[in-house]
C-alpha cells in the first residue's frame, strides 16, 4: 500500500543548485511535455535534442540532487469524487508547529504553510467520497485537537487555473507577462469504473526513471502497457488525469518565494478578471473563493518567484493589467507539508477511526 511522505522544509540542503541551460530546458519539458507513451523519456529527449540515455542520466541526477521531487501522474481531486477546500486557521502563534503536526496527520492534507497573517496556518484538505465525517466533521476534529480559535472555510467557487510549472529559462519579465485569458474549469466528479480506480492505484506515486516508465504499473495490473496508457488517456480526456509531470522542489530549483495574492474583485467582474489573472505565466493557481465580512478578497492567485521581489513584480503586473487596487499578499515562512495526494487508499478511514471513533 502506498504511503504519502511528508516533506518538511529544512535549511540544510535547501538552497538552489546550479543548473546548466540543458538542465533548465529539460525541467521545463518534464513539467509540461511528458507524454502518455510507451517510451515517454524518448519523446522528451527528442524535444530537448539530446540522446535518451543522456536525458535519463540527467533526470536521475536531478532527482538525486533534490531538484525534481518526483515524476508522477497528477490526478484531479474533485473529478475523482473527493471533496476539497482551502482552509485558513488561527492557531497558537507561539507554537504553530504543534497544530501543524496534527493537521499533517490527515492523509487529505497535501499542503500546509505558515503565513504572515492572523490566520496563520493555511492548508488544503480533501476527504474521500464516502467519508463519514465529511469536510465539516473533519474540520471540527481538527479544531478540537489543535485548539484553533477560528477556522475559515475557503472552497473553490470557480477554478481558473491549477498548473504548477516553474519557468526555468525565462526571467522576471517572462513570469510577469500576461498570456491569453483562459476559461474556468469544470469541477464536477466523473464516473469511475473499477478499472479506472485500479489504474489510479497502480500508477500514482513516484514513477521509475526507465525507458519503459509505465511498465511497472502494467506489471502490477497484469495487463499490457498499451492498456495502461489507454486507461490513463481515457481519464485524461474525462478530466480525471491532468497530466504526468515532474514535480520540483521549489527552493532547490531556485524559486525561494511564493506569495498568495488575494484580490477584492467586484462580483460582476470576477469571471473576466479571474480569466485574465490566470493567464500570467508566474501564476500557478487562480480561484474564486467566498468572501466574509472581514475578508473581502474573492480571487486568489499563487505567485512563485526566485525572490519576494519577483513575486511582487508578478502581482504588480496583474494589478496594472486589471486595475484591481484592493489586494493583499500573504507570504509563507514555513512549509509544514507538501505531498501529492494518494487516492483510494485505506488511510482516510483509518484516520477517522482513530480520531473520531
- DSSP state string for 67-123: SEEEEEEEE-TTTTT-EEEEEEEE--TT-HHHHHHHHHTSTT--EEEEESSSS-EEE
* Separation CA 274–CA 93 (nearest Å): 32
* Separation CA 97–CA 334 (nearest Å): 9
Dihedral angle, C-alpha 288, 291, 295, 300, nearest 10 °: 0
Catalytic member of 111, 285, 304, 355: 111
Query: Residue holding cell 505558515?
Result: 114
Distances from the Cα of 13 to the Cα of 79, 252, 253, angstroms: 36, 8, 12
| Whether the Cβ atoms of residue 200 and residue 344 lie closer than 8 Å to each other | yes
Would residue 285 show up in a list of annotated catalytic residues for this protein? Answer: no
* Separation CA 78–CA 85 (nearest Å): 10
Residues 6+ apart with CB under 8 A from 267: 298
Residue 152 DSSP code: E
Distances from the Cα of 119 to the Cα of 95, 102, 207, 274, 298, angstroms: 14, 17, 36, 24, 16
**Among 73, 108, 107, residue whose Cα is nearest residue 203:** 73
Distances from the Cα of 327 to the Cα of 18, 160, 216, 250, 318, angstroms: 35, 18, 47, 25, 11
For the annotated catalytic residues, the residue numbers are 111
Amino acid at each position: 500500500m502506498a504511503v504519502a511522505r511528508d516533506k518538511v522544509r529544512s535549511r540544510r540542503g535547501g538552497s538552489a543548485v546550479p543548473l546548466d541551460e540543458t538542465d533548465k530546458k529539460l525541467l521545463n519539458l518534464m513539467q509540461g511535455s511528458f507524454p502518455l507513451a510507451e517510451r515517454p523519456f524518448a519523446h522528451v529527449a527528442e524535444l530537448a535534442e539530446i540522446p535518451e540515455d543522456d536525458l535519463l542520466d540527467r533526470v536521475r541526477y536531478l532527482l538525486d540532487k533534490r531538484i525534481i521531487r518526483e515524476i508522477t501522474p497528477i490526478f484531479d481531486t474533485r473529478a475523482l469524487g473527493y471533496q476539497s477546500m482551502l482552509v485558513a486557521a488561527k492557531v497558537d502563534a507561539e507554537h504553530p508547529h504543534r497544530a501543524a503536526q496534527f493537521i499533517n496527520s490527515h492523509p487529505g492534507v497535501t499542503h500546509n504553510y505558515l503565513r504572515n497573517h492572523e490566520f496563520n496556518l493555511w492548508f488544503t484538505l480533501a476527504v474521500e467520497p464516502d467519508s463519514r465525517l465529511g469536510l465539516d466533521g473533519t474540520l471540527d476534529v481538527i479544531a478540537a485537537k489543535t485548539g484553533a480559535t477560528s477556522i475559515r472555510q475557503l472552497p473553490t467557487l470557480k477554478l481558473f487555473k491549477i498548473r504548477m510549472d516553474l519557468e526555468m529559462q525565462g526571467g522576471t519579465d517572462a513570469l510577469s507577462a500576461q498570456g491569453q485569458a483562459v476559461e474556468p474549469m469544470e469541477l464536477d466528479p466523473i464516473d469511475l469504473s473499477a478499472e479506472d480506480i485500479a489504474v489510479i492505484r497502480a500508477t500514482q506515486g513516484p514513477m521509475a526513471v526507465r525507458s519503459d516508465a509505465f511498465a511497472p504499473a502494467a506489471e502490477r495490473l497484469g495487463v499490457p502497457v498499451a492498456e495502461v496508457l489507454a486507461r490513463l488517456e481515457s481519464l485524461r480526456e474525462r478530466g480525471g488525469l491532468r497530466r504526468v509531470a515532474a514535480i520540483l522542489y521549489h527552493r532547490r530549483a531556485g524559486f525561494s518565494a511564493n506569495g498568495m495574492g488575494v484580490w477584492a474583485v467586484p462580483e460582476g467582474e470576477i469571471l473576466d478578471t479571474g480569466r485574465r489573472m490566470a493567464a500570467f505565466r508566474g501564476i500557478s493557481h487562480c480561484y474564486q473563493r467566498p468572501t466574509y465580512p472581514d475578508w473581502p478578497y474573492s480571487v486568489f492567485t499563487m505567485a512563485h518567484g526566485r525572490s519576494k521581489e519577483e513575486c511582487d513584480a508578478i502581482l504588480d503586473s496583474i494589478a496594472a493589467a486589471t486595475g484591481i487596487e484592493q489586494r493583499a499578499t500573504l507570504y509563507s515562512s514555513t512549509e509544514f507539508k507538501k505531498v501529492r495526494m494518494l487516492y483510494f487508499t485505506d488511510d482516510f478511514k483509518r484516520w477517522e477511526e482513530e480520531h473520531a471513533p
